Amino acid sequence: MATDPSPYSASQFPDSIGAEALSIALVGPDESRRSTAMMALAKSGGADVREITAYPEGMDSGVQTLGRGYDAVLVDLDSDPELALSLVENICALNTATVMVFSENADPELLVRCMRAGAREFLTFPLAPEVMEEALVRAAARRPQTREVKKVAGRLLTFMGAKGGAGATMVACNFAVALAKETGEKTLLIDLDLPLGDAALNMGITAEFSTIDALNSVDRLDGRFLDQLLVKHSSGVWVLAAPGRFLQYQASTEAIDWLLRVARKEFDNVVVDLGSKLDLMSSAAYKEASTFYLVTQSSIPELRNSNRLVQQFFAGTLPKLEIVINRYESRTLGVSEEHITKALTRPAQWKIPNDYASVRKMQIHATPLVLADSSITRQIHLMVKSVSGAEAAPAAKKKGFKLFG
């Protein structure tokens, strides 16, 4: 199994135990041992597994996420027994997840220490699939009977600019508004372009709380708490804004992943504006996006950056990448279509026309473009239709302009 640059990576196994698969966190720094454990979990079935490649320490956000975000936590004791036992004790103190441990050392003293720390299962490594399956059945039986049936996680739609000023925020904001209005689905826009994101400015709203408030509170962040941090735009879109003043802040991958997990439980659609922040490409905003939109322009600097990003992050099949060329003008291009496609390594799916007057009007009045007809609006409606299946809003007949697909 390939090493993940982030402490968190996800794998899905089929559900064979019950109506709802167990969510399991597999914790251990040793890649080969995790790989062996993953094989045992795969053979036993019935699990939605996420690998954690480092032991969270103390009662930080990583421990809170493990304790509250999963049905069971499977911990490798042997990589660092003392740190692992401390982790077990801290997770068990939350009294939520079933904690299971595994070790090559079947020493009775170690077993007693694990029991005192709160572990419910002690498994001998290498793990036998039948033993693992029995442990998962017991873990499933410990889930609260009153637990709500988990709905399908909402779509995660992520926008990132190839360069600052490419227009990712403008496209993300208008996309979110169009998606909410055309589908009637509950839609959330999250501004992760920290600390200077301006999604709220584009939407014409003032927010009392911000994304940073959510990320600083992951130990108690659930759907109810998240709702208190949001502002509802008149279009129906809910917004988690960047702070209104400069705050130096570096978000952890674990905190962002938890925020997105909670958001997708509460909303049908979660639209994320990353700005042009490459440091978030190890988070779920990239890894779990159903569609990732790379917003660029047809100028040399943006195309050069786009080429680097596509080669670095999108050489595989996931996440699904769609390229958006913003401020596109077919008749005044300094770069040919052929060279644009070559630079991007693939054709762009979307071309947002250069409509300066409409964008300027949006900036002055702080009103999303898609609330009025324009060439930009019509293209964004088509983008929305492509992910939702909803009928695109009828486009008024235009003069002297060809709509690009």
- Other Cβ atoms less than 10 A from the Cβ of 368: the count is 25
Q: Which domain holds residue 257?
A: 155-388
Residue 222 in any domain: the answer is yes
> What three-state secondary structure class fits 270?
strand
Q: Which of 61-65, 160-164, 235-239, 265-269 is predicted with the least confidence, judged by mean pLDDT?
A: 61-65
pTM: 0.62
Strand-pair partners of 12: 48
Q: Check residues 372 and 272 and name the one with the higher pLDDT.
A: 272
Looking at the structure of the chain, the number of domains it has is: 2
Backbone dihedral angles phi then psi of residue 262, each to the nearest 5 degrees: -65, -45
Structure tokens, 211 = 């994304």
Whether omega for the bond prior to residue 56 falls within 30 degrees of 0, making it cis, is no
- The pair of structure tokens assigned to 85 is 């036992």
Percent above pLDDT 70 for the chain: 85
Q: Are 124 and 191 in the same domain?
A: no
Q: Is 186 in the same domain as 302?
A: yes
Q: Does some domain include residue 276?
A: yes
Do 160 and 214 have their domain in common?
yes
**51 part of a folded domain:** yes
User: Which DSSP letter does residue 370 get?
Assistant: G
Task: Examine residue 194 and state whether it is found in any structural domain, yes or no.
Answer: yes
pLDDT score of 59: 53
In a domain, 148, yes or no: no
Mean pLDDT, to the nearest integer, of 198-202? 90
Report the alpha-carbon distance of residue 326 to residue 330 in Å, rounded: 12
Across the chain, what does the average pLDDT equal? Answer: 82
Residues 86 and 175 in one domain: no
Lowest-confidence region among 175-189, 195-209, 352-366, 382-396 = 382-396
282 falls within a domain: yes
| Mean pLDDT computed over 174-194 | 94
Based on the fold, state whether residues 67 and 213 are members of the same structural domain.
no
- CA-nearest of 199, 168, 126 to 350 is 168
- Rounded mean pLDDT of 265-271? 95
170 and 31 together in one domain? no
Do 234 and 295 belong to one domain? yes
Which residues neighbour 174 within 8 Å (Cβ) at sequence distance 6 or greater?
A: 368, 369, 370, 376, 377, 380
Q: At 123, which CATH number?
A: 3.40.50.2300
**70 found inside a domain:** yes
